């Protein structure tokens, strides 16, 4: 089993988690040197620093976990996995995607930020026939890209935007709403879906205010939104910027307004970082309630010493599907992997999941019909590479973190 971590990622990982624990052999020279005889080669491209760094490293850990599990179980297959850090920016993401391509990785679990995923797909993955499964990119724009090469275990925000609108208008009774959103594909796409859903339900949207990431203050943006005295404020962003937004809010703008946030701002450490219990903040995020959830959760906690968070289960599932598709096709080749992704994931065949992934590898390699049922859900891809069904968790912040209180289910 070969798992490669470049020096930049090691430093980022230590900074984010305090320790870096990787079982097995770490090849600091690059997977191309020691992974040539592997049975599958998977790249992991996640934001382990930058605006999404707090969420990205646990997601990357989830993506790596299948290889750790399989090595611990002593499987007869060699899985070569290499992690790269996008730093939450498209330019760096493309650079690292190209590094994985040049090193011979035809399959990638990545990326997380939608703008990074879209740019990598357009510039690297689709032109070079690399199969990428994103566990966290939710922009509706991804649906219209090439589903042969870009798929996702995360759902489209076409669903999450509507779910958030349902909560805002029907559950919270908001009649006048303002939005504050990150100025990128993720923020704009989710904002548009949310606004449309609110207006369809008869609410008035007073202001829609974009913001740039990692600014020293967001006072002017908050004045433009909270200053309009909405019944509810919807904020789309990532944790680094979110810390500043919420510090500014509680310092100068806290009037008890209900705030609703999506997955990108679900981080149990936020109340401690903001020094406020944030009890007025509700959130939504894709659920990880698949058949393999308990087995995945136990393995994740044992390996990393913490509970899995948002998109961690989706990351595990993306890597597991890519490994199974590679073995089913018998070739470490993007076109072959693409042909077998739905074959190993969609309904039909023996059920395989986190608890019996080792058996799934044997069956896939033998050409047996299998269906992967994952930690996050059924992992059933439609023709666009999107999920056929999804469940969203609804939760609320408190001084000790964040708790899920309810769910909403969607099915295409």
- E-strand spans in 67-211? 79-85, 107-110, 131-134, 150-152, 176-182, 204-211
| Cα 390 from Cα 377, distance rounded (Å) | 7
pLDDT at 35: 59
pLDDT > 80? residue 262? yes
pLDDT > 70? residue 121? yes
pLDDT > 90? residue 315? yes
pLDDT > 90? residue 336? yes
pLDDT > 60? residue 387? yes
pLDDT at 412: 80
Superfamily (CATH) of domain 2-155+289-384: Response regulator (3.40.50.2300)
| Cα 154 from Cα 386, distance rounded (Å) | 8
pLDDT at 39: 98
pLDDT band, very low/low/confident/very high, at 112 (cuts 50, 70, 90): very high
| Cα 349 from Cα 360, distance rounded (Å) | 11
Give the start-to-end residue ranges of the domains of the chain: 2-155+289-384, 158-286+390-411
Residue 156 has what DSSP assignment?
A: P
pLDDT band, very low/low/confident/very high, at 37 (cuts 50, 70, 90): confident
pLDDT > 60? residue 22? no
pLDDT band, very low/low/confident/very high, at 31 (cuts 50, 70, 90): very low
Residue 385 falls in which region: left (phi positive, over 0), alpha (psi -120 to 50) or beta: left
Higher pLDDT, 104 or 10: 104
pLDDT band, very low/low/confident/very high, at 3 (cuts 50, 70, 90): very low
Superfamily (CATH) of domain 158-286+390-411: Response regulator (3.40.50.2300)
Q: Is the dihedral of CA 5, 11, 12, 17 positive or negative?
A: positive
pLDDT > 60? residue 139? yes
Percent of the chain topping pLDDT 90:
90
Q: What are the tens digits of pLDDT across the range 177-222?
A: 999 999 999 999 999 999 999 999 999 999 999 999 999 999 999 9
| 158-286+390-411 has the same fold as 2-155+289-384 | yes
pLDDT > 50? residue 6? no
pLDDT at 2: 53
Higher pLDDT, 24 or 349: 349
* Mean pLDDT across the chain: 91
pLDDT > 60? residue 152? yes
């Amino acid at each position: 089993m070969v798992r490669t971590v470049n020096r930049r990622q090691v430093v980022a990982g230590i900074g984010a988690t305090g320790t870096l624990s990787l079982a097995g052999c770490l090849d600091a020279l690059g997977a191309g040197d020691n992974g040539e005889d592997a049975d599958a080669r998977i790249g992991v491209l996640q934001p382990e620093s930058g605006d999404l760094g707090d969420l990205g490293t646990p997601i990357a850990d989830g993506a790596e976990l299948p290889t750790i599990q399989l090595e611990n179980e002593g499987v007869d297959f060699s899985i070569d996995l290499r992690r790269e850090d996008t730093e939450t920016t498209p330019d760096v993401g493309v650079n690292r995607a190209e590094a994985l391509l040049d090193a011979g990785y035809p399959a990638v679990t990545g990326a997380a930020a939608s703008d990074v995923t879209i740019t990598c797909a357009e510039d690297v993955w689709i032109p070079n026939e690399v199969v990428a499964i994103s566990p966290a990119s939710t922009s509706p724009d991804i649906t219209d890209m090439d589903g042969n090469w870009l798929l996702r275990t995360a759902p489209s925000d076409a669903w999450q935007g509507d779910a958030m609108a349902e909560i805002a208008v029907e559950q919270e009774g908001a009649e006048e709403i303002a939005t504050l959103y990150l100025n990128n594909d993720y923020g704009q796409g989710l904002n548009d879906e949310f606004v449309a859903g609110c207006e369809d339900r008869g609410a008035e949207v007073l202001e829609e205010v974009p913001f740039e990431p990692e600014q020293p203050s967001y006072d002017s943006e908050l004045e433009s939104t909270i200053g309009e005295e909405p019944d509810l404020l919807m904020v789309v962003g990532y944790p680094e910027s979110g810390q500043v937004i919420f510090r500014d809010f509680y310092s100068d703008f806290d009037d008890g307004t209900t705030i609703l946030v999506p997955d990108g701002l679900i981080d149990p450490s936020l109340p401690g970082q903001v020094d406020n219990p944030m009890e007025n903040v509700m959130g939504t995020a894709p659920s990880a309630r698949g058949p393999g959830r308990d087995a995945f959760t136990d393995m994740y906690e044992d390996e990393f010493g913490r509970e899995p968070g948002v998109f961690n289960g989706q990351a595990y599932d993306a890597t597991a599907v890519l490994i199974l598709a590679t073995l089913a096709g018998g070739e470490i080749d993007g076109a072959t992997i693409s042909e077998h992704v739905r074959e190993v994931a969609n309904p039909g065949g023996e059920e395989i999941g986190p608890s019996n992934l080792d058996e799934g590898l044997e069956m896939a390699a033998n050409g047996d019909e299998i269906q992967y049922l994952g930690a996050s859900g059924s992992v059933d891809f439609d023709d666009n590479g999107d999920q056929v069904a999804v469940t969203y968790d609804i939760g609320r912040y408190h001084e000790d973190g964040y708790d899920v209180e309810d769910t909403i289910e969607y099915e295409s």
